[in-house]
Chains A and B, each alone.
Chain A
């Protein structure tokens, strides 16, 4: 019996992180120090924070690559602490990483994308269906026969995403998958993430670019292994002073709006984009 592509199944349609603590073996400091969060399916979540804040560790805990030291992670209702269930989590929560070169194993794009479904032991016809579906969704059908090694960085990252989607996951976790890409490719990937959410997939996107985070439905800020902020982009990203304290680079627009407010002008508190700020000139 096959799970529906967009449904988590009976266990609930979210990733729930409860009191999660994690320490790397041999390290005296905790990478995660009691994190409570919920990531919904069908929404685009951005995860930001300075280097060492615990973003990647949290991402890896959510797809059961790392087991919690304490607390628990329920991915689609499945507890990642239980070893036999981890495989089930890998099926439902797919992951893409920063450097596509380290993720390629196939000699053609098609083989590359088929790698995951093949590992699930699916029938050839089902593998075919999934590969075709994933290539189509990502918009790279024309690359099917090409060698991954000879593609551009941006194309390679799209292949990695197609490979993840061929698992028909409920969640896609992107660990800085856009940081090596140029603007055109990055925009393509972020637009794809937004489309995928309307198809019911939950996206958790770890990024250094606050301009990307501003496009998400919700933003989580981590600092020192704990949640330092969460909410809609307009709530979380509009206070440049707080963001600086958290080691983040505030959006230009929020810095200018902050200076205007300090000088006694009434600028709305949630301005994030250029057009909104410029419209204040004529308001």
Chain B
């Protein structure tokens, strides 16, 4: 079961030789609650990828703190321990496969974590099953011979094989079609349930995480502005367009309906929305 992962007042700048550093995070505060799906959303250049890498212990804050289970992540041993619990699926993960075979590629992470022999095989097998990739069929093939969608799944399997308590994914939906997105969503949902893991989805597109995330952290200019649940986003308190984002069409519809006094509990269930609309019309007709 995952512990609470939090960032407190994290600053991070990229050093630029001969120039002033480029600040990417300017006081980011974030808490990922155990076992939740949290969506971190922001426009291009808002600091999303940097935040994802800080969450996974790959970039160390210039100042501020990363805590796991209320203990600050400190020192070499502490960092190693933290990295064994949190894993990141990089953006464009399909371009980051490198081993001779798919099976070796997926085994790379858990092997680095010290797994060997039967344990390692089992980790790879379990990860392949989770992402729906046939190890028998594809395991001995070169990762470069896979289709785009298969490469993505192999990359995710490589991350899941490390059995992380917190899984961070940077723009995992870009370029996936409807089937691919649904498959990814169900994989994440299942992993979270079986493992008790927390899942952080970093994206520029709210619709990607709409049916999956409970809470949405909005990032702008390297700071987290707000963490909201879906109903807060729908009430229109946050001006999403000023953050370079917009509600998915589901959200726009539910917001319009709210304007007519129609409240819908699940803002992505067509049957429920249709039912609420029909009763409203009937009530007007009477």
Contact = CB atoms under 8 A, between A and B. Distances in A.
Interface residues of A, number: 39
Nearest to A98: B175
Interface stretch (B62-70, B126-134, B265-273): B265-273
B280 to A, nearest CB: 6
Q: Which of B178, B245, B260, B275 has the most chain A CB within a 10 Å cutoff?
A: B178
Given A184-B244, A258-B270, A263-B274, A274 B253 contact: yes
A51 B181 CA distance: 11
Nearest to B22: A150
Given A247-B177, A259-B274, A260-B278, A51 B148 contact: yes
A247 B175 CA distance: 14
A51 B44 CA distance: 24
B176 interface: yes
Interface in A149-182: 152-154, 176, 179-182
Nearest to B176: A51
A260 B281 CA distance: 11
Contacts of A51: 147-149, 175-177, 179-180
5 contacts: A153-B44, A182-B43, A184-B241, A265-B281, A277-B253
Contact of B249 (A50, A211, A263, A282): A211
A249 B178 CA distance: 5
Interface string A222-252: 0000000000000000000000100111011
A192 B271 CA distance: 36
Given A183-B43, A265-B281, A281-B281, 6 more contacts: A50-B178, A152-B45, A176-B175, A184-B241, A247-B177, A282-B284
A253 B249 contact: yes
Count class of interface residues, chain B: 35 or more
Nearest to B268: A252
Interface of B is mostly: helix
Contacts of A277: 253
A259 B273 CA distance: 9
| From A51, A154, A280, residue with most partner B Cβ within 10 Å | A51
A252 B270 contact: yes
Interface string B30-50: 000000000000111100000
Contacts of A23: none
Contacts of A244: 178
Contacts of B248: 252
A105 interface: no
Given A152-B44, A181-B44, A256 B277 contact: yes
Contacts of A208: 175-177
Kindly list the 9 A-B residue pairs having the minimum CB-CB distance in the complex, ordered from nearest: A259-B274, A182-B43, A255-B270, A249-B178, A153-B44, A184-B244, A252-B249, A50-B177, A182-B244
A52 interface: yes
Nearest to B282: A265
A53 B94 CA distance: 19
